[in-house]
Chain A
Amino acid sequence: MSEQYDVIILGSGPGGYVAAIRCAQLGLKTAIVERENLGGICLNWGCIPTKALLRSAEVLHNMKHAAAYGLAADNIRADLEAVVKRSRGVAKQLNQGVTHLMKKNKIAVHMGTGVLKGAGKLEVTGDKGTETLTAKHIIVATGARARDLPFAPADGKRVWTYRHAMVPQELPSKLLVIGSGAIGIEFASFYNDMGSEVTVVEMMDRIVPVEDADVSAFLEKALVKQGMTIMTGAGVEKLDVTASGVKAAIKGKDGKVVTSDFSHVIVAVGIVPNTESIGLEALGVKAERGIIAIDDYGRTNVKGLWAIGDVTPGPWLAHKASHEGVIAAESIAKELGNKDVHPHAMDRRNIPGCTYCHPQVASVGLTEAKAKEAGHVVKAGTFPFIGNGKAIALGEPEGFIKTVFDAKTGELLGAHMVGAEVTELIQGYVVGKTLETTEAELMATVFPHPTLSEMMHESVLAAYGRALHI
């Protein structure tokens, strides 16, 4: 017997489960298929548990600097096992939260591995055997996994992916992090705060290469000051895993290959979409290097088949997946005759990115360089944390906020931040950007005092030569 649904979602990560909830809200008979944990990587093995780890690191950092706040703390030490346990507990709580949300929204959960078997047909193999589900629409939301280095596949002992790095049995004494994107830098920051000796190797000429060059430069300086070794324009040529550690041959900026010993290696050189062996090829789904081609609403080239999240073109971020999930759900409801939904096209220019290292990094839109590349005459403004009362009171006087405007139209093209709590600040600019703000509205906005957000105002004023506190 096969069950007939309006929509089946393959994968229950932040894209899939959000799409399922929105489908259910719109009155569609919805099923979700998951092979491992409801909530996917994000809240089981990604965004959320790492934030729990990083919070522990932050508290530890603050304890170590207690004297700066007039406080005394002796015998400060980290209990790695307890830190990991807390992180797993947070993940578990959220996993149960998703289970509850599925139940509340009457979404059928099928645990198992799904494979597409023709249009609108999905075969699910789980513990209880194999069943075939059918639906008018299927959304592929199978996400992605870490990319392996061809010469050194992760073994979980000495060579880790994010997944191993999240549940360490022991603290690496000397850690090599390959790749300085959000994942690499967050783990580098965590282990550095926890007491490991950390080296970061990045192939590009700067760390966090998708961010504004000013942010990369500032962050590198801050991390080096914290004791990290950072090698840019460098590549790992060879990894030799031994019983006691890893020998890494690293080719530096100068072209010389130097071999160093590390206790552990974290590989964070990007992700690979999970689009193999789910039956996409047989259906003729258009994809390039495993990344499924979609329109602005999530439609693939196959009628009734949709794709969202990390299996589609980037940025590969949870909030982008969730947003695509909502758009796809509404578009499906519309195709099924709902006249009250008005899905909007995905606008990739307004997707913020956040990195939770210490100091934090957050951004939206074009970097100054990218804006110039696109032909804009740019007006950019920068305001430093040191000019902000709240930042000084917090004891976090390091960082800045930079804004980039089109000189002619005043369009806010991008915003780039590094410093304490900037991941919570960026959304102000995202809202403005989504509403198509110009500098005039931002200047005319009242920002509360004393907050870090005042720097957002000052940055805009600075772009027009009007900053007040500098």
Chain B
Amino acid sequence: MPIEIKMPALSPTMEEGTLAKWLVKVGDKVSSGDIMAEIETDKATMEFEAVDEGTIVAISVPEGSEGVKVGAVIATLATDDEDAAPVAPKAAAPAPKAEAAPAPAPVAAPAPAPVAAAPKANAEDRVVASPLAKRLAAELGVDLSKVTGTGPNGRIVKADIEAAAGGAVAPSAPAPAAAPAPTAAPAPAAVPDFGIPYEAEKLNNVRKTIARRLTEAKQTIPHIYLTVDVRLDALLELRGELNKALEPQGVKLSVNDLMIKALAKALEIVPKCNVSFAGDELRKYARSDISVAVAAPSGLITPIIVDAGTKSVSHISKEMTALAGKAREGKLQPHEYQGGTASLSNLGMFGIKQFDAVINPPQAMILAVGAGEQRPYVVDGALSVATVMSATGSFDHRAIDGADGAALMQAFKQLVEQPLGLLA
């Protein structure tokens, strides 16, 4: 019996993904554990392994297909030789809910019999919707590519458009029709073309997610910013000693590793800042999971050091090295970047003196760390030189009062300036 290979849910919340790359082709034999494809979710690219053994007889979703629904059939595997002749993928039903943009036309396998392959561009642009649904969508400003079809084989029908437009649409009410769909993504106004030469690059899923979430954060969260100057001399000295001691173990602590620890500890000291604003309730977290901003080639991503408050700095350092590596390769697993109770962003290595970061919802605070630099510094009434950095906390003012935010910054400053507290 041929086995239908379906788009996997690579995280509990994943609904669709991009089939970034096929690593197998029709006719290839695969066995359990072989990597068949790379699948890009909104945050990362993941490898998709074969579970069963057999021969790939059909690939139904071409690589590069975006918005492939979880559960959609992406390939067919024959388990015994009888079935191994390439078969045309089922024309109908790539997914129970194939919809809108996806529903990519099945790619004809390089089969003995020539099978007409739909031109790729067409396949990707095809929206399966009834004539009435298309017309209603245009009138109500509903983006068909964001509508899930409930008709046969996921065809978008009138009822789907009405649902997307928010409730039943009055039948050609004499009054002007309902306002544009509230669910439609906030599309920016068209960018005017001033004739400047440019190259258009299609947004990847990571970039789309960043755009959506940061817009959401800045539009919905009232940010307040609190900045402190922190003297680093003691911390740098301690780091030097620790690294000397840890060298045999192959551990080299970065300043950032110590910042992660300091932030986590500070959150434990001021738990009022370790929260999420959740509409009608405030979530107070019982541990400090620090999301650390990492610049990956595909865009910003924030791997998490879980329970950083109780982990040793060397442990944090090792974990961070591994996570940052994965992040740069786009191989982070969803559980490694989804979650976190507060974030840390460090642009000190670029010489940035101070900056205000945007909160990463549903978290309620993010700490922006600037460069440690030698500055004139007054110690005991006398001017001297010290290594100082500026750190700015951005707080969700709905959840955190200014005084509580200030208390957190104070605790952070103290932990960094008297760093032995980080080790205890």
* Residues of A bordering B, CB below 8 Å: 342, 344, 374-377, 406-411, 435-438, 440-441
Contact = CB atoms under 8 A, between A and B. Distances in A.
Contact of A437 (B131, B152, B177): B131
Contacts of B170: 375
B174 interface: yes
Interface stretch (B62-70, B133-141, B342-350): B133-141
Interface string B149-163: 000100001100000
Contacts of A374: 171
Nearest to A439: B131
A444 B131 CA distance: 12
A435 B172 CA distance: 20
Contact of A409 (B96, B135, B157): B135
Contact of A438 (B135, B171, B174): B135
Is chain B's binding surface mostly helix, strand, loop or mixed? loop
Interface in B289-303: none
The CB with the most chain B CB atoms within 10 A, among A374, A376, A409, A411, is that of A409
Given A406-B172, A409-B135, 7 more contacts: A344-B152, A374-B171, A375-B171, A406-B171, A409-B136, A436-B131, A438-B131
Given A342-B96, A409-B139, A436 B172 contact: no
Contacts of A407: 172
A133 to B, nearest CB: 33
B383 interface: no
Contacts of B158: 411, 436
Going nearest first, the 7 A-B pairs with the smallest beta carbon separation are: A408-B172, A436-B130, A436-B132, A376-B171, A377-B172, A406-B172, A438-B131
Nearest to A345: B150
Interface residues of B, number: 18
A437 B173 contact: no
Contacts of A410: 132, 135
A411 B173 contact: no
A377 B176 CA distance: 12
B131 A441 contact: yes
Nearest to A441: B131
Given A342-B96, A409-B136, A376 B172 contact: yes
A342 B153 CA distance: 9
Contacts of A440: 131
A375 B131 contact: no
Contacts of B132: 409-411, 436-438
B133 to A, nearest CB: 6
Nearest to A407: B172
Contacts of B93: 342
The CB with the most chain B CB atoms within 10 A, among A408, A437, A438, is that of A408
Interface string B119-146: 0000000000011110110010000000
Contacts, number: 44
Contacts of A375: 170-173
A8 to B, nearest CB: 29
A373 B130 CA distance: 25
Nearest to A379: B172
A411 B157 CA distance: 12
Contacts of A409: 132, 135-136, 139, 172
Contacts of B133: 436
11 contacts: A342-B93, A408-B139, A408-B172, A409-B139, A436-B130, A436-B133, A436-B158, A437-B130, A437-B131, A437-B132, A438-B135
B130 A435 contact: yes
Contacts of A342: 93, 96, 152
A411 to B, nearest CB: 5
A59 B96 CA distance: 51
A440 B173 CA distance: 21
Contacts of B136: 409
B157 A436 contact: yes
A409 B130 CA distance: 12
A440 B132 CA distance: 10
Nearest to B129: A436
Contacts of B139: 408-409
A374 B171 CA distance: 8
Contact of A435 (B96, B131, B171, B174): B131
Contacts of A408: 139, 172, 177
Contacts of B135: 409-410, 438
Contacts of A406: 171-172
Nearest to B132: A436
Nearest to A376: B171
Nearest to A375: B171
Contacts of A376: 171-172
B149 to A, nearest CB: 12
A407 B174 CA distance: 10
A437 to B, nearest CB: 6
Contacts of B177: 408
Contacts of B172: 375-377, 406-409
Contacts of B174: 377
Contacts of A441: 131
The CB with the most chain A CB atoms within 10 A, among B130, B158, B174, is that of B130
A436 B152 CA distance: 12
A42 B139 CA distance: 45
Interface in B73-106: 93, 96
Interface in B157-191: 157-158, 170-174, 177
A310 to B, nearest CB: 27
Nearest to A378: B172
B155 to A, nearest CB: 9
B291 to A, nearest CB: 39
A438 B135 CA distance: 9
Contacts of B96: 342
A408 B170 CA distance: 11
A382 to B, nearest CB: 20
B120 to A, nearest CB: 27
A411 B159 CA distance: 13
A377 B152 CA distance: 29
Contacts of A438: 131-132, 135
Nearest to A344: B152
Contacts of B157: 436
A339 to B, nearest CB: 9
A363 B222 CA distance: 60
Nearest to A406: B172
